Structure 1
Amino acid sequence: SGTGHSDLGDILLMPTTGPLHLNPGTADAPETGYRSRYSHSSETAHPGYYAVTLEDYGIRAELSATARTGIHRYTYPGEGDRHLVMDLSHGIYNYEGKTLWASVRVVSPTLVTGYRITQGWAREHYTYFAVRFSRPIRDYGCRESVASAYQGFWRKFSTDHHFPEMAGRGLSLWFDFDWADAGADDLTVQVALSATSAEGALRNLEAEGGSFDGIRASAGAAWERELGKVSAEGTDEELKMLYTALYHTMINPSVYDDVDGAYRGLDGGIHKADGWNNYTVFSLWDTYRAEHPLLLLMHPQRARDMGFSMLAHQEQSAHGLLPIWSLMANEGWCMSGYHAVSVLSDAVSAGIGLPGDRALEAMDATATVPYLEGLEDYMKIGYVPLEASSTGASTTLEYAYDDWTIYRAAKLLGNKSLAQKYRQRAFSYLHLFPFGENFAQARYRDGRWKKNFDPRQTYGEGFIEGNSYNFSFHVPHDVAGLIGLMGGEKQFLSMLDTLFSQPLDPRYYADNEDIEESCLIGGYVHGNEPSHHIPYLFAWTSKPWKGEYWLREIMERMYRPVRDGLGGNDDCGQMSAWYIFSAMGFYPVCPGSGEFVLGAPFLPRMTLQLEGGKSFTVLAPGVSSRNRYVQRVKLNGKRLTKRFLTR
């Protein structure tokens, strides 16, 4: 369920035996450090539980978790020296200087607390921790691999062995334990995290602590309860893919507060979430499309809490902005658009308890920050010029859609002036289509079009992580208008047919990290998000069966329950949310509209258990790869005459 960039991995624990190593070694020669080889054949993985054998040490490592703690159980071999390494200089997407400072205090023989401050994707990331061991510490020490320029008074003594306060920028620690009780070779380690303080981590540890087997059982039951909200019929492989996708949709956004509601805010201060949980990891350029609509459908209470988290982010922002890409009390500034407005508009229209006027105020504030990626030009001339952004064309398309969602929220809340303002801005996409042309194109501030335009080229054409051919269909709020702009249904269908049937020349993706051959169908790029709604656009034409054909092709080709079975990274559940919706046979082409566009069910039966004891069941007897076309649709026994469902 990862993203195109990475961070975190703040507290590395590694059980070892034999000679002590505090450096990781290399992948080619793991024996030169604390690394260990392992085999996939020794792995066991279930929701809420993972286990693997570390072959170099003969140690069985087991992992489970609660909302705010992780728990480890290491079973060592019966003989030899046994160690536990804690490497606070390690991290995901690591580089020299990433760790700004780390500090550890040995509080008691079974309790260690500390913190780590890093600078990465999350520009200023604080991780506090409390670690409880099932055995008393017998001996411990550390190594500081980064020399300090300061040589002052606190350097009067050695801090590398049995000194209960250890700190530095390249800090690695080791612990040895008392193994006096005969016949027991396991060590349990529970790690509680907090972004506020070591005291917050301790409170989380006290509230969510327990035995390994108890926590494993609770985690398994929690996942069974959540995954059990969907029941379905299909082959073993189809169901494995379905539940893998569903699991991926529930990993992020994630809870980012202590058990008492305390959390670190975007302003660096400690705040209190009162009556809601604070969330982080908002990969909104990806997830507004299907992940958040799915959460709103299946988990409205969590969707409400995420809405409050976004409003708190905007209130604490020095810019007055809703999150663009929120990561651990930091704004990551990744990708374009201000898609939190789409999520909030959808939530307000669903009536899940968000304050509508406050949400609308935050949307309007976000959409009027002049220095946000060409927004001043956009508000003046109706598009983002290349002088203001190298991806001005796609940014304009995204702003126009986002503005439509603000228009809809304003209209729903009775704010006529804002509704009129954003309705007008929602048609800004028209500025990107030269007269008589069917492709959106980048242009300069004086109105000139970019020369040597190539609609299949990703880089240098004014589009972010996509090309004009795919992005030209990114007008989800006015598909009928787009069809007219392209010359009518015949030309629109021709554009769609060519996109799916004409192969993309390898020169367009040979050195392109945003497009992989495995995620292509013709020129349609499923491995990145801007294209996800395109197969459903056939529903606006007289030939919706063409969309049904391609949807089945995507489901069968791009989603397989194997190691390389996903065409592209999941981007915090968006790829998988697309699969869940498409398996049910409908999709939120225009999030914020409250509408779902019909496709074709993938499974014979699929049932969603909704909050309040309600359920929604999709029946498609006899559906298969050969029998993929929809003949008629009934809702609660009544035949539908349109290809849309309304929430």
Structure 2
Amino acid sequence: MLKRIIYYFCSLFVSTAAVSAQQKTDLTVFVKPNIGSVHSRYFFYTPAAVPFGMAKLAPSTNGSYGNKSGWEAVGYDDRHTSIEGFANFHEFQVGGVVFAPSVGKLKTMPGQLDRPKSGYRSDFDKKDEFATSGYYRVMLKDYNILAELTATKRVGFHRYTFPKTEEANLIFDIGHVMGESGPVVDAEVNYDKQHVWGYVVTNPVYVQKYQQGATVKMFFFAEINKQPKSFGTFRDSITFDQHTRIKGKGAGVYLKFGTEAGESIDIKTGLSYTSVENAQLNLLKEAKDMSFDAAKNNALQTWNSELGRILVVGGKADDRIKFYTGLYHALLGRGLASDVNGAYPKNDGSVGQIALNKQGQPIHHHYNTDAIWGAFWNLTQLWSIAYPDYYNDWIQSQLLVYRDAGWLGDGIANSKYVSGVGTNFTGLAIAAAYNVGIRDYDMNLAYDAVRKNELEAKDRLPGAGKLDVGVFVRKGYSPYIKDDHGSPELMTNGSPFGASHTLEYAFSAGAAAQFAKSLGRQKDYVKFQELSNGWRNLYDTETKFMRPKDSTGRFISNFNPYEPWRGFQEGNAWQYTFYVPHVPQELVKLVGKDLFNQRLDSIFTVSQKNVFGGGTQIDAFAGIESLYNPGNQPNLPISWLFYFSGRPDLSQKWVRAICNEFYGNDAIHGYGYGQDEDQGQLGAWYVLSSIGLFDVRSLTTEKPALQ
């Protein structure tokens, strides 16, 4: 089935795909990971990785500061000039296992940005740094050490080239907080005969919020190519010479060497979310006899192959850089969580086993994933066009969690529920996949999961999101209720975001309706169709805006269409009034074609004066009070709506302007990554828009058509 060309492919794409198989250009030269890396999420900057891999290696400049809110910018920031180490895990709500080289007096704490000499961190110059898809290197000025990183799917490769010294150090900093991982609960590190292994257990903020009591575990098994002359363990800044095992928060191991000038110490580390034994197995199966250079070449070849599924030629070099950097980010996130033998972390903390085929290989993989909120306007469309094999695999991964825990997840970290915004569009993504012929999974299980996600509220787990879906099903809308407790996503009788939830649930109900119809579930189809009209309950004919309603059915008073957070999540009425993606033509009819076009065109005219927000504000919530915010999910289809109001030329005009002006090629003005890039979403939007393939309805119709 997956070998078939999806039937909505256009001839343009088929031809580019055919050419890409023969392309000779090194596409990695167009990938610039530092673009947009000012004020970015922890998982954003991971150059030393392969597509959808578990091993995602990168330098950290402020990852040890932690992430109190769960979504803050942390990890690597292009403005910083010192590096505190190199982390092996970079994923949504997952991070840790840091290695760091040094020379001289041993320091076992990373140190502070404003006091870099207080720890093992080192200054570096930007001119001495290089990053592309699959490889990273930097000269650590304080130690005259050249650090290099690359990876296979589950194995991280480190190469540290030292000067001549008798005081070369390797620090394995395992028991400290890193990135989005949250507080460390426990850790253990061991050393014996050129091997270091152990684990760290963390409690990410979103896991605490949506699945209390659950934790995220990361395991590693590292192989070093040189025998140290001495070794020891540490807890924070206290060292224990010649000790080989340590347990608890702040735990780590250090190794000391003598090196000649230009001598390299290589580390290969197998990673796993299930056990040290499986981390070692991953290392043996993927990289037993593989050198650093072989791994690097393999990573670059893999990226060329995957990037080459879409080949663009000609045009400006800057635009090709935007294109392939965007595609790189789209393929980077939502990485492997299962091992080579099919072992995977279950939601309850135990280890599960994916079924094996006749060759002894897992029939699919398991993945970590940020929420799919908005990803149906970028990632899933891109997957369906060029990476249907991954899309199918991703769905099977989601169904694995449903089978184990009873609900589809919104976001998944180590199989733990980590809903990002308290909604859940996983069912829509499954229904859309069916429409484009991606169906290699248990269809009955998939439909049951989608149906439950859209309709059921009883005993609904917080991490499944949509806790107010029950009132939506009863009333046809989710009432606006003021949040007085600081947990708006956990309310059941309405929501502070009741209006945006209503629009979102109506959209996903429309997707479920088509899924039900295709499978002959007529009774469900009728119910879903009814719910898909919920958006009409919020349309105010006087103001011609979507307007929140209270629990009595009245529109809220003191309504301000610019005001965010009051009825609308991460946006306002100006932005969300256009949120009827399943039937945009009906919204046009209701507003009136002329007024619709005039209002929409004026929004872009005004927004362009501020570069559509690109590069003008470094803030995770930049633009939520504006007319239009292309850096955040609810706004992603708006520029394409003119196709439904008789003015496709205006969509072409404004989409091109957004691509040219909002998306940039420097560390600050690049993709609006300081906002909601969210594991490749904005990068994928740029890719789709650049090649002119986009579906406002997100593949949810019976025969999807791309605008």
TM-score, normalised via structure 1 length: 0.85
Q: Distance in 1 between matches of 2:399 and 2:132?
A: 35
User: Is 1:293 the equivalent of 2:387?
Assistant: no
CA contact (8 A) 2:163 2:261 kept: no
Contact 2:174–2:189 (8 Å) recurs in 1: no
Aligned: 1:501 with 2:605: yes
Other-structure match for 1:524: 628
- The one-letter amino acid paired with 2:568 is F
Q: Which of 439, 445, 449 pairs up with 2:555?
A: 449
**Displacement, 1:449?**
1.9
Q: Which of 58, 77, 98 pairs up with 1:12?
A: 98
- Measure, in 2, the Cα distance between the counterparts of 1:57 and 1:261: 41
The answer on whether the counterparts of 2:375 and 2:681 sit within 8 Å (CA) in structure 1 is yes
Closer/same/farther in 2, CA of residues 427 and 470 from structure 1, 3 Å limit: same
In the other structure, the counterpart of 1:630 is none
Alignment of 1:110-129 (within 5 A): 110-121=194-205, 123=207, 124-129=215-220
Residue 249 of structure 1: aligned partner: 330
* 2:187 paired residue number: 102
Query: Is the contact made by 1:146 and 1:168 (CA closer than 8 Å) also made in structure 2?
Result: no
Aligned partner of 2:139 in structure 1 is 53
Within the alignment, does 1:562 sit opposite 2:666 as a pair?
A: yes
Q: Does 1:483 align with 2:588?
A: yes
Residue correspondence of structure 1 range 148-297 to structure 2 within 5 A: 160-177=240-257, 179=259, 185-209=263-287, 210-233=290-313, 234-274=315-355, 275-297=363-385
Q: Distance in 1 between matches of 2:706 and 2:120?
A: 56
Q: Which amino acid aligns with 1:571?
A: D
Cα distance in structure 2, aligned partners of 1:511 and 1:305: 37
Question: Which residue is equivalent to 2:455?
Answer: 368
Q: How does 1:392-471 map to 2 (within 5 A)?
A: 392-459=498-565, 461-471=566-576
Give the aligned residue type for 1:423.
Q
Residue deviations 1:121-148 (CA, integer Å, cap 9, x gap): 363100011010011233222222499x
Give the drift of 1:515: 4.5
**Hey, what does 2:47 align to over in structure 1?**
none
In structure 1, the residue matched to 2:686 is: 579
Superposition deviation, residue 302 in structure 1: 1.1
In the alignment, the residues of structure 1 paired with residue 175 and residue 219 of structure 2 have an alpha-carbon distance, to the nearest angstrom, of: 15
Deviation of 1:451 after TM superposition, in Å, equals 1.5
Match of residue 139 from structure 1: 230
> Mean Cα displacement is larger for which, 408-417 or 491-500?
491-500
1:596 is displaced (CA, Å) by 9.7
Q: Is the 8 A contact 1:131 1:189 kept in 2?
A: yes
- Maintained 8 Å contact 2:335/2:369: yes
Which structure has the higher relative contact order (CA within 8 Å, separation 6+)?
A: 2
Given candidates 174, 182, 185, the residue that maps to 1:88 is 174
State the distance in 2 between where 1:190 and 1:503 align.
Answer: 49
Give distance in 1, aligned partners of 2:163 and 2:236: 30
Partner of 1:608: none
Instruction: Kindly indicate whether residue 112 of structure 2 is the aligned counterpart of residue 32 of structure 1.
Output: no
TM-score (norm 2): 0.78
Letter in 1 for 2:337: Y
Instruction: Tell me the CA shift for residue 568 of structure 1.
Output: 3.4
Gap change, CA 1:511 and 1:527, over 3 Å in 2: closer
Residues 219/484 of structure 1: CA separation in 2 closer, same or farther (3 Å cut): same
Q: Deviations over 1:143-172 (max 9, x none)?
A: 22499xxxxxxxxxxx92322221111213
Could you tell me whether the CA contact under 8 Å between 2:190 and 2:198 is conserved in 1? yes
| Segment of structure 1 superposing worse, 1-10 or 48-57 | 1-10
Task: Tell me how far apart the structure 1 counterparts of residues 184 and 706 of structure 2 sit (CA, whole Å).
Answer: 50
Q: What secondary structure is seen at the aligned counterpart in 1 of 2:147? A: strand
Change (3 A) 1:562 1:595: farther
Distance in 1 of aligned mates of 2:276 and 2:370: 25
Secondary structure of residue in 2 paired with 1:456 = coil
The C-alpha deviation readout for 1:156-205, integer Å capped at 9, x for no partner, is xxx923222211112133111365xx666210011111111110001001
Structure 1 distance, partners of 2:621, 2:281, is 45
Letter in structure 1 aligned against 2:382:
L
* Partner residue of 2:578 out of 467, 473, 493: 473
Tell me the SS of whatever aligns to 1:288. helix
C-alpha contact 1:38 1:54 (8 A) present in aligned 2: yes
1:354-396 per-position Cα deviation (integer Å, ceiling 9, x unaligned): 3322211100111233254311211111111123211111011
Q: Which moved more, 1:385-394 or 1:199-208?
A: 385-394
The 3-state SS of whatever aligns with 2:321 is helix
Kept in 2: contact 1:74–1:188 (CA 8 A)? yes
Letter of the 1:378 counterpart: F
* 2:138–2:147 CA contact under 8 A, matched in 1: yes
Using the alignment, how far apart are the partners of 2:541 and 2:131 within structure 1?
Answer: 56
1:326 deviates by 1.4
**Equivalent in the alignment of 2:641:** 537
The CA distance in 2 between the partners of 1:403 and 1:270, in whole Å, is 34
2:100·2:120 contact (CA, 8 Å) conserved in 1? yes
Question: Does 1:23 pair with 2:101?
Answer: no
d(CA) in 2 for partners of 1:484, 1:204 = 57
- Rounded Cα–Cα distance in structure 2 between residues aligned with 1:568 and 1:49: 21
Q: Residues 233 and 244 of structure 2 are in contact (CA less than 8 Å); yes or no, is this contact kept in structure 1?
A: no
Q: 1:263 Cα deviation (Å)?
A: 0.5
Q: Return the offset for 1:310.
A: 0.7
Per the TM alignment, residue 116 of structure 1 is displaced from its structure 2 partner at its CA by 0.5
Paired AA for residue 384 in structure 1: S
Q: Residue in 2 aligned with 1:377?
A: 471
Q: Residue 444 of structure 2 aligns with which residue?
A: 357
**Aligned mates of 2:383, 2:97 — CA distance in 1:** 30
Q: State the partner residue of 1:315.
A: 403
CA distance in 1 between counterparts of 2:389 and 2:636 reads 26
CA contact (8 A) 1:588 1:595 kept: no
Q: How many residues align?
A: 578
Distance 1:468 1:505 in 2: 21
8 Å Cα contact 2:96/2:174 also seen in 1: yes
Task: State the distance in 1 between where 2:661 and 2:219 align.
Answer: 43
CA RMSD between the two structures: 2.6
Counterparts in 2 of 1:588-607, with a 5 A limit? 588-593=695-700
Structure 1 spans left out of the alignment, 5+ residues: 148-158, 598-643
Over residues 236-258 of structure 1, what are the superposed CA-to-partner deviations in whole Å (9 max), with x where a residue is unaligned?
A: 11111111111111012211110
Asked if structure 2 preserves the Cα contact closer than 8 Å seen for 1:347 and 1:354, the reply is no
- What one-letter code is carried by the residue in structure 1 that aligns with 2:597? L
AA paired with 2:257? F
Q: Secondary structure at the match of 1:9?
A: strand
Sort the Cα spacing of 1:591 and 1:645 in 2 relative to 1 into closer, same or farther, 3 A.
Answer: closer
1:618 corresponding residue in structure 2: none
Contact 1:283 1:572 in 2 (8 A): no
Give the letter for the 1:191 counterpart: T
- The answer on whether the counterparts of 1:244 and 1:561 sit within 8 Å (CA) in structure 2 is no
CA 1:541–1:561: 2 relative to 1, 3 Å:
same
